[in-house]
């Protein structure tokens, strides 16, 4: 049989083995006091054809990002992915063994992972990069744990303008591990002073550039301040295309650089799968999570690729591992590598400049609307608008009814805060057109005057 449900006796034996009295206790850390399948009132069974018909009807309710003007960002960006990327990732030499423990039959996988690491290290400005993580947010959490191990300290300082969902991942890991987290001040469109939060117990300072509001930051000073206290600077980049136009975090002194790689080679895909990028200093390699692929020669002197570093405990003794991330986003980082190779340095620079130019063009048009204020002095392809006296969530809902996805309301990121409800974060990529700009400008004027 393909499916063998647990018996009452087997469930009781497993619960006894882990020291809990009920299944409900297992889920208490997820914030669910009780989880019962009966609450969902699902039908007992449907035919395959009925299930397909039902799922197709649900899918038809979705609106594709390319179906109209689209200005949503905040960590997930709509960029053009060449058709050649999807074609090449299906070639057989790349679809070898998923986990490359046997290099003799995994050369295709190992080679592209090696090339991927080379690209990521160069892009982020690190001395060495790993073979990818799950996504940017979990990569951020892993970087904080890595800093704790390196400094033997237990306190992380998070910039207020760090993506709040990245911060939530860090706090979840810290709560489970007994580490302290200190939050900076949310400063829309501005620069916060984190120096007063750094002390002799601080293991790391986590900053983002461009930050959640789109503002670019020079990390040189905060890197020096953190390192003077014996702490590490962790830099987060959610829009990796920006690195084609601005200085890399590593070149500004960051010790660990984490990025979300979705923008290159990977579509939005309703939120995933994505891929996390991580680069650091070579001397930290033994505490770096994940795997490292390396280049070598075989017995005949021919070039070959191997899995150079992969903490064995990640697979058999997880409590002693540097990380419990035991795999990498293989297909996603292959797509990243192919797209980056197709772009090349000149192509990435041209793409990033196009993104910035379009964002500047739209920001100027929107700033001319009465009741709209642009908060950013500098940005890459994302900026924040203040809609005077209006709830940005209500305005975006009105625009969405006209098939215009205007951006991300501040209240969606911080639902508990009243001081961000009038903020609208707008992202602009190479995929938007002048007609899209005109639609957003006209729609926003109408919504604000309604």
Distance CA 231, CA 206 (A): 11
The whole-number pLDDT of residue 97 equals: 53
The whole-number pLDDT of residue 246 equals: 97
The whole-number pLDDT of residue 284 equals: 97
The whole-number pLDDT of residue 31 equals: 60
- First-to-last alpha carbon distance for the chain, in angstroms, is 62
Residue ranges, comma separated, of all CATH 3.90.1150.10 domains in the chain are 67-79+345-449
Per-residue pLDDT of the chain (450 residues), as tens digits, is: 456 778 889 999 999 999 998 887 877 766 655 555 556 666 778 889 999 999 999 999 988 898 999 999 999 999 999 999 999 998 887 766 566 778 888 888 899 999 999 999 999 999 999 999 999 999 999 999 999 999 999 999 999 999 999 999 999 999 888 999 999 999 999 999 999 999 999 999 999 999 999 999 999 999 999 999 999 999 999 999 999 999 999 999 999 999 999 999 999 998 889 999 999 999 999 999 988 999 999 999 999 999 888 765 556 666 677 876 766 788 999 999 999 999 999 999 999 999 999 999 999 999 999 999 999 999 999 999 999 999 999 999 999 999 999 999 999 999 999 999 999 999 999 999 999 999 999 999 999 997
The whole-number pLDDT of residue 1 equals: 47
User: 42 is written with which tokens?
Assistant: 């699902």
Q: Does domain 67-79+345-449 have CATH number 3.90.1150.10?
A: yes
The whole-number pLDDT of residue 25 equals: 81
Dihedral-angle region of residue 253 (phi above 0 means left; psi in -120 to 50 means alpha; beta otherwise)? left
The whole-number pLDDT of residue 314 equals: 59
User: 446 is written with which tokens?
Assistant: 């109408």
Pick the closest to residue 125 from 209, 24, 25 (CA basis).
Answer: 209
Residue ranges, comma separated, of all CATH 3.40.640.10 domains in the chain are 83-340
The whole-number pLDDT of residue 306 equals: 92
SS3 117: helix
The whole-number pLDDT of residue 317 equals: 64
17, HSE (Cβ side, Cα atoms, 13 Å): 6
The whole-number pLDDT of residue 244 equals: 98
Distance CA 224, CA 252 (A): 10
Task: State the CATH class of domain 83-340.
Answer: alpha beta
Pinpoint the alpha helices (H) of 299-377. 313-316, 330-367
Distance CA 136, CA 325 (A): 13
Residues 327/147, Cβ–Cβ less than 8 Å: no
The whole-number pLDDT of residue 24 equals: 79
CA distances from 232 to 117, 160, 192, 223, 383 (A): 22, 17, 18, 8, 28
Residues 212/167, Cβ–Cβ less than 8 Å: no
């Amino acid at each position: 049989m393909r499916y063998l449900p647990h018996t009452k006796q087997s469930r009781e034996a497993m619960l006894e083995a882990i020291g809990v009295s009920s299944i409900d206790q297992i889920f208490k850390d997820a914030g669910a006091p009780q989880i019962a399948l009966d609450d969902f009132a699902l039908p007992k069974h449907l035919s395959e054809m009925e299930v397909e018909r039902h799922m197709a009807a649900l899918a038809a309710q979705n609106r594709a990002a390319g179906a109209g003007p689209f200005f949503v960002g905040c960590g997930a960006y709509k960029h053009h992915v060449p058709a050649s990327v999807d074609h090449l990732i299906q070639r057989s030499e790349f679809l070898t063994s998923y986990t490359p423990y046997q290099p003799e039959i995994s050369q295709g996988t190992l080679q592209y992972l090696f090339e991927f690491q080379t690209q990521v290290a160069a892009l982020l400005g690190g001395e060495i990069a790993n073979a990818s993580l799950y996504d940017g947010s979990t990569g951020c959490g892993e970087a904080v744990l890595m800093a704790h191990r390196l400094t033997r300290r237990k306190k992380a300082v998070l910039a207020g303008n760090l993506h709040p969902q990245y911060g939530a991942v860090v706090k979840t890991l810290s709560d489970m591990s007994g580490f302290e987290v200190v939050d900076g001040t949310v400063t829309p469109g501005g620069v916060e002073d984190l120096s007063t939060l750094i002390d002799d117990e601080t293991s790391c300072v986590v900053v983002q550039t461009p930050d959640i509001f789109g503002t670019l930051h020079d990390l040189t000073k905060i890197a020096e301040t953190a390192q003077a206290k014996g702490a590490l600077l962790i830099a987060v980049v959610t829009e990796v295309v920006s690195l084609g136009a601005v200085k890399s975090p590593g070149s500004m002194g960051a010790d660990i650089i984490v990025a979300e790689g979705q923008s290159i080679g990977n579509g939005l895909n309703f939120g995933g799968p994505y891929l996390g990028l991580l680069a650091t200093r070579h001397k930290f390699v033994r505490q770096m999570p994940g795997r490292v692929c390396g280049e070598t020669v075989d017995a005949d002197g021919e070039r070959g690729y191997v899995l150079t570093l992969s903490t064995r405990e990640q697979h058999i003794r997880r409590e002693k591992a540097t990380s419990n991330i035991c795999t990498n986003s293989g297909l996603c980082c292959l797509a990243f590598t192919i797209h980056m190779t197709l772009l090349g340095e000149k192509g990435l620079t041209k793409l990033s400049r196009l993104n910035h130019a379009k964002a500047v063009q739209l920001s100027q048009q929107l700033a001319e609307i009465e009741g709209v204020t642009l908060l950013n002095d500098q940005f890459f392809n994302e900026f924040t608008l203040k809609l005077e006296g209006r709830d940005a969530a209500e305005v975006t809902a009105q625009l969405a009814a006209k098939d215009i996805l205007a951006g991300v309301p501040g209240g969606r990121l911080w639902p508990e805060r009243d001081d961000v409800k009038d903020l609208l974060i707008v992202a602009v990529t190479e995929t938007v057109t002048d007609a899209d700009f005109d639609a957003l400008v006209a729609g926003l004027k109408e919504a604000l005057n309604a």
